[in-house]
């Protein structure tokens, strides 16, 4: 090995030996450091993965949803409008959708009830999502009673429990025939909850939305990109909120790490004096301290990131998914698809590893600047 490389290696070996000599101090620092990286990396991975899920799910969503507004509130829309919108240039299809929320007083949660036209779904049956089945404790073949708008009970057979692959969106979903949805919610014939509009060219969406509003001033077109943006904003906001909640813990760590990193013990100062007196240059001392800082911070970064990956993608971020996911009662159970944003990892690296490494250098540089003869007098 060439001398410059051998020098790096020799000093790295001594840095590792120095760290192991101060086990208690360094292990406690490493533990807290790893915990902070773990929390921050978990937040980043989780928010990123949720956004990825939202993007994947919305890929199947209609390009635009058109609602009717009355006094600033969402109101059923006439089916006659579907025909008018479908005739507009650029629109490739319009599907009226019939859906609503059903509040279950026993569990205190909302179910999303939606009409589906499927030959396999008889009029007295329904399909439920995994979350509904779990919370209502029903399985295929069981009976469910829902209370209609007028208080009368409606009895259904659970014909199918939806697959867990779609649980993120189907957890609270109840699918039934159109006539049953109308009967449950007293929705008039000839109306729908909203209209799902598909267009041939996505770049024409704003123009078509403007045309719809021009034609029907009480309509509100909602673009897929707007829904995605809202989801991302919500997840970012929740992630930010968590950071604020954890800020005190992070701040405590920063103070702790700063104190440990910037304060050299009398023993460390003595060692620096000895090393200088036996022929180490100030640059060698700084290299030694850089290695020590880099080993601690890199180990903490790698361990924290790895633990966060396992926590989020193997255990579905069980430590704080309730705070971030935001369902009221029917929490979906699912495993997030691994999604790692290299840019955010680099930011995390820069914010955790670099400050600590640099912080360790300042006091070492000061100590390394003393004349080596101080060792003669120690």
Partner 1 sequence: MTAIELTQVFKTYEAGLATPYTAVDGVSLTVPGQRLTVLKGPSGSGKTTLLTLLGCMARPTSGRIHLHGVPAGILPALNQGDTLEVTSLPERFLTAVRRRNFGFVFQHFNLIRGVSVLENVCLPTYPTGEDPRVVEGRAEALLKDLGLGRHLRASVDRLSGGEAQRVAIARALISDPPVIVADEPTAHLDSHLSEGFMELLGHFKTLGKTVIVASHDPIVCHGALVDRVIELRDGRVVEGA
Which region, judged by CB under 8 A, interacts with partner 1, from 165-173, 273-281, 294-302, 318-326? Answer: 273-281
Q: Using alpha carbons only, give the angle 324, 328, 331 rounded to the nearest 5 degrees.
A: 70
Q: In the structure encoding, which two tokens stand for residue 359, read together?
A: 């912080």
Q: How far is the CB of 374 from partner 1 (least distance, A)?
A: 9
Q: Tell me which residue of 207, 200, 219, 185 sits closest to 103, measured CA to CA.
A: 185
Instruction: Pick the binder of partner 1 from 33, 156, 280, 320 (CB under 8 A).
Output: 280
Instruction: Pick the binder of partner 1 from 191, 207, 277, 316 (CB under 8 A).
Output: 277
Instruction: Pick the binder of partner 1 from 106, 119, 186, 278 (CB under 8 A).
Output: 278
Asked whether 338 and 345 are in contact (CB, 8 A), the reply is: no
User: Looking at the DSSP assignment, which residues form a beta bridge with residue 198?
Assistant: 93
Q: Does 6 bind partner 1 (CB under 8 A)?
A: yes
Q: How far is the CB of 325 from partner 1 (least distance, A)?
A: 49
Instruction: Pick the binder of partner 1 from 3, 151, 153, 217 (CB under 8 A).
Output: 3
Determine the size of the site formed for partner 1 (CB under 8 A): 33
What stretch of H or E contains 349?
helix 342-368
Instruction: Pick the binder of partner 1 from 271, 296, 304, 359 (CB under 8 A).
Output: 271
Q: Does 265 bind partner 1 (CB under 8 A)?
A: no
Residues 63 and 84: their CA atoms lie apart, in Å, by 17
Residues 144 and 123: their CA atoms lie apart, in Å, by 14
Our CB check for partner 1 shows the closer of 264 and 274 to be 274
What are the C-alpha distances in Å from 371 to residues 262, 266, 269, 282, 377? 21, 16, 12, 10, 11
Our CB check for partner 1 shows the closer of 9 and 139 to be 9
Our CB check for partner 1 shows the closer of 198 and 284 to be 284
Q: Does 157 bind partner 1 (CB under 8 A)?
A: no
Q: Does 370 bind partner 1 (CB under 8 A)?
A: no
Residues 67 and 76: their CA atoms lie apart, in Å, by 8
Instruction: Pick the binder of partner 1 from 206, 267, 326, 346 (CB under 8 A).
Output: 267
Secondary structure letter of residue 126 according to DSSP: E
Q: Does 106 bind partner 1 (CB under 8 A)?
A: no
Our CB check for partner 1 shows the closer of 140 and 378 to be 378
Residues 273 and 269: their CA atoms lie apart, in Å, by 6
Burial degree of 210 (CB within 10 A; 0-12, 13-18, 19+):
exposed
- Tokens 């779904």 found at: 121
b/e burial code for range 317-348 (CB count within 10 A of at least 16 → b):
beebbeebbeeeebbbebebeebbbeebbeeb
Which region, judged by CB under 8 A, interacts with partner 1, from 11-19, 142-150, 191-199, 201-209? Answer: 11-19
Q: Does 24 bind partner 1 (CB under 8 A)?
A: no
Q: Does 274 bind partner 1 (CB under 8 A)?
A: yes
Q: Tell me which residue of 78, 84, 111 sits closest to 96, measured CA to CA.
A: 78
Q: In the structure encoding, which two tokens stand for residue 309, read together?
A: 């990956």
Q: How far is the CB of 11 from partner 1 (least distance, A)?
A: 6
Q: How far is the CB of 265 from partner 1 (least distance, A)?
A: 12
Query: Contact positions toward partner 1, by CB under 8 A?
Result: 1-7, 10-11, 13-14, 17, 21, 267, 271, 273-275, 277-284, 371-373, 375-378
């Amino acid at each position: 090995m060439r001398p410059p490389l051998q020098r790096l290696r020799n000093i790295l070996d001594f840095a590792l030996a120095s760290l192991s000599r101060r086990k208690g101090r360094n292990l406690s620092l490493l533990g807290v450091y790893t915990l902070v990286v773990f929390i921050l990396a978990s937040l980043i991975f989780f928010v990123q993965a949720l956004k990825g899920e939202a993007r994947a799910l919305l890929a199947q969503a209609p390009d635009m949803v058109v609602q009717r507004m009355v006094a600033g509130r969402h109101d059923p829309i006439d089916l006659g409008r579907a025909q008018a919108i479908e005739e507009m240039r650029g629109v490739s299809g319009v599907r009226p959708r019939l859906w609503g929320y059903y509040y279950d007083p026993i569990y205190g949660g909302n179910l999303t009830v939606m009409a589906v036209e499927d030959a396999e779904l008889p009029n007295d049956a329904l399909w439920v999502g995994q979350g509904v089945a779990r919370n209502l404790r029903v399985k295929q073949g069981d009976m469910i009673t829902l209370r209609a708008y007028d208080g009368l009970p409606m009895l259904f057979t659970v014909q199918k429990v939806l697959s867990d692959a779609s649980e993120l969106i189907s957890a609270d979903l109840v699918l039934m025939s159109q006539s049953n949805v109308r009967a449950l919610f007293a929705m008039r014939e000839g109306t729908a909850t909203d209209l799902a509009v598909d267009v041939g060219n996505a770049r024409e969406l704003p123009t078509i939305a403007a045309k719809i509003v021009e034609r029907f001033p009480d309509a509100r077109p909602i673009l897929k990109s707007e829904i995605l943006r809202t989801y991302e904003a919500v997840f970012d906001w929740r992630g930010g909120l968590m950071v604020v909640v954890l800020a005190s813990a992070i701040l405590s760590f920063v103070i702790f790490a700063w104190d440990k990193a910037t304060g050299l013990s009398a023993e460390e100062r003595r060692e620096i004096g000895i090393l200088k007196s036996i022929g180490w240059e100030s640059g060698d001392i700084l290299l030694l301290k850089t290695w020590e800082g880099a080993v601690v911070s890199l180990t903490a970064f790698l361990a924290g990131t790895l633990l966060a990956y396992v926590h989020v993608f193997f255990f579905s971020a069980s430590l704080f998914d309730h705070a971030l996911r935001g369902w009221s009662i029917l929490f979906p159970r699912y495993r997030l698809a691994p999604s790692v944003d290299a840019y955010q990892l680099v930011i995390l690296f820069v914010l955790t590893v670099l400050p600590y490494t640099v912080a360790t250098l300042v006091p070492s540089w000061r100590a390394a600047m003393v004349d080596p003869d101080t060792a003669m007098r120690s």
